[in-house]
Amino acid sequence: MTATISVSKSAIFELIMAGLEAYAVKHQGSKSISVETAAHLWGYVNKTHPFKCTINHVSVETSAKRKRSSVEFSSQSLLIKKDIAKVFGDQYQYIGTAHSHPYLREENIDAAIIRKDKLYELSDADHECEIGSPEIEVAGKSYSVALVLTVHSMLKADDRKDGTYFGEPLIEFSLGNIKFWLYGRVFEHKSKSSLSDEERHSYERYKLTLSGAHNDKLVPVPLDTLLESGVFIDTLCKDFGRLRFLDNESEYDLATVAECRW
């Protein structure tokens, strides 16, 4: 089964705003610029298979503990947000989480390395966070959903590789010299004893082992996922400024200024 994640224009707008702010602006009390940020995803889920969810809203996790290479959600925050969502009805169901992967050129990482090493994917630690967190029930089966927004400031703007990747739940797009990769994955939560050899291999690709788990333990199995979003078309060839970093500080030039310098 191929699962589908559809991300609305308003949701991707909110996710970009949160991810880019955390990437470019040093927050009070933080020693590092470019920290990870986190958000919860809201929308609706089809009631029949194959699995499909539509993400219409993103709520930034302001209580998250954000660091350079990690972010920690607050369980109390989600508890409150879920009750708020119930007030607004079925179109505001809790779907899953999103977080960012910020990369700087100073770390000797560029867009080519991000693509080659697939740094836009969920990390082993990200996958581990899905364990014990099935949030969605569809026709007796349990699922969870995760998005990652990878952000990287390039030396110069280059949108030649922008678009949807064939065979991967991935969309690459640009704003000025800032490169983004939006990646999504649906997980089905199944007991260890019910896993096929293919599902075991899919689970263990994240360097997690099943050897010590009880047979009745629920484990998140990555599903083939289709990611739908119009963000590539919405951002293509749009005027945007340029973002630069120097000594743990950032400088942003508006598009009108940047066009004269670059």
Residue 258 has what pLDDT?
A: 58
Residue 230 has what pLDDT?
A: 95
Residue 180 has what pLDDT?
A: 98
pLDDT in tens, the chain (262 residues): 899 999 999 999 999 999 999 999 887 666 778 888 889 999 999 999 999 999 999 998 887 777 767 777 778 899 999 999 999 999 999 999 999 999 987 778 899 999 999 999 999 889 988 888 888 999 999 999 999 999 999 999 999 999 999 899 999 999 999 999 999 999 999 998 999 999 998 888 877 788 877 888 899 999 999 999 999 999 998 999 999 888 778 888 887 765 554 4
Contact of 210 with 204, CB cutoff 8 Å? yes
Contact of 74 with 63, CB cutoff 8 Å? yes
Give the Å distances, CA to CA, from 37 to 65, 133, 170, 248: 9, 20, 19, 18
**Nearest partner of 121 among 15, 201, 16, 227, judged by Cα:** 227
Residue 33 has what pLDDT?
A: 82
**Nearest partner of 150 among 132, 126, 133, 186, judged by Cα:** 126
- Dihedral sign computed on CA atoms, order 255, 259, 261, 262: positive
Instruction: Read off the pTM.
Output: 0.92
Residue 165 has what pLDDT?
A: 92
- Dihedral sign computed on CA atoms, order 227, 228, 229, 230: positive
Residue 58 has what pLDDT?
A: 96
Spell out the residues 6+ positions from residue 152 whose beta carbon is closer than 8 angstroms to its own. 102, 103, 104, 105, 109, 110, 111, 114, 178, 179, 180
Spell out the residues 6+ positions from residue 80 whose beta carbon is closer than 8 angstroms to its own. none
Residue 16 has what pLDDT?
A: 97
Residue 68 has what pLDDT?
A: 65
Domain 2-261 class?
alpha beta
